Amino acid sequence: MAYYGFDRSVYPTDAVMTAWRSQTPFKFCGFYLGPTATGQHSDNSWMTKRSFLKNLNWGFLVLYLGRQLNQTKTADLARSDAQDASNLAAQAGFPKGTIIYLDVEQGGLLPSDFITYITTWCAALSNAGTYLPGIYCSYSQTADQIKAALTVNTQFYVYHIGLASPSCSNPFPDPNSAPAPSTSGVSYAVAWQYTQNCSFTAAGYTLTSLGVKTQMET
């Protein structure tokens, strides 16, 4: 069964999260680890909120913004970034076995240094034995390229905008039944973002810069 969720890089406030859990179809949220050693996410507003959100029965999709196309990427940096992700997840209170998704923003075919960085990051996180690796990336070509290069079991969370919902004004194709991530264009995906930069109002609160997504129960 799939569930609706959203992400926003800055924490929305306790009041929003309390109201939206009971008055919207959203059941999980993207949880941004930070500040990251990669310099890609300097905000730490989510970091103390896990316990509060868990008590409201929110689920989580944990995100680590890795090094991107215009940055130097080496195997050594990948290993140190994997340790950084693990340290931040532990600091936020996530238990052993939680999936941490490495956020890869670049679409299309990736250069070899990027692939080396991604695969080394995943292997380092997996081999450390505390957390499990995941990848957030563009659907189809990018996901397939990364998957073919991986040496450890890794979950995929993909973005394919507009396929499930025609616009941000209607982010829930069916409020009672979220579309399966396997229908995103990537059959092996366990999570799928299908809108971005949305403005959404519910329970008297409006948030901007939202991505709406669906995730399989884990």
pLDDT value at residue 196? 87
Task: Say how far apart CA 92 and CA 146 lie, in whole Å.
Answer: 28
Instruction: Find the mean pLDDT for residues 125-141.
Output: 97
pLDDT band of residue 218 (cuts 50, 70, 90) is low
Global confidence as pTM: 0.96
Instruction: Find the mean pLDDT for residues 107-129.
Output: 98
Instruction: Find the mean pLDDT for residues 11-28.
Output: 97
Residue labelled with tokens 């499990």 = 132
pLDDT band of residue 173 (cuts 50, 70, 90) is confident
Q: Give the residue among 61, 49, 59, 63 at the shortest CA–CA distance from 21.
A: 59
Instruction: Find the mean pLDDT for residues 40-63.
Output: 98
110 contacts 146 by C-beta, under 8 angstroms: yes
Q: Could you tell me the CATH superfamily of domain 2-216?
A: Glycosidases (3.20.20.80)
What are the domain boundaries of the chain? 2-216
